[in-house]
Amino acid sequence: MPFLSVLLVRSALCWLAVGAAMGALLLSTKAAPLPAWVFRLFALHAEALLIGWMVQLAMGVAWWILPKYPRLPERGPAAPIWAAWLLLNAGVLLAGIGRSIGAPETTVIAGRLAELLAAVAFAVAAWPRVKAFGR
């Protein structure tokens, strides 16, 4: 597995561990009297698991297994994937934590914008690798 896929997949695993812990706390609020701030974790729980875990895992695995180029670098330039990793994780932090702590709406919008840019960077890198075998 290439280094950038390791980075993306391990980051996804971190979000899974964190998101699942928040989910367990949130579910427990239906059964036990927990502090009110626990409810505010909902936005970060959703952002962590949907974007941080599932989307990032898909990006990491795709970067690993999509058809390679016959020349070096065999998976294409690394810069867009670095940018996608940085933007996606910054986006999850900004949008998830921003909404959970009641930060100004601009923080959440900035987070979502970062996630969009991550998708653009990833698509730019992955698009030419979606091709028939031998090309």
Partner 1 sequence: MPSITRWFVRSALLWFLLALATGVLLAGGVSADIPGTAWALPYPTYLHLLTVGWLTNLIFGVAFWMFPRYTAEHPRGSDMLGWLAYVGLNGGLLLRLIGEPIQLSGEAKGVLLLLSAGLQLLGAWAFVLNTWPRVKVK
Q: Rounded to an integer, what distance in angstroms lies between the CA atom of residue 118 and that of residue 82?
A: 9
Query: Closest CB to partner 1 among 32 and 132?
Result: 32
Q: What angle do CA 111, 52, 42 make, to 5 degrees?
A: 75
Q: Does 16 bind partner 1 (CB under 8 A)?
A: yes
Residue 53 is which amino acid? Answer: W
Q: How far is CA 117 from the centre of its chain?
A: 12
The CB-of-35 to partner 1 minimum distance in angstroms stands at 16
Question: What is the C-alpha separation between 27 and 51, in angstroms, rounded?
Answer: 20
| Choices 21-29, 67-75, 94-102, 104-112; region in contact with partner 1 by CB under 8 A | 21-29
Q: Is residue 72 involved in binding partner 1 (CB under 8 A)?
A: no
Q: Write out the residues near partner 1 by the rule CB under 8 A.
A: 1-3, 5-6, 9-10, 13, 16-17, 20-21, 23-25, 27-28, 30-32, 49-50, 54, 57
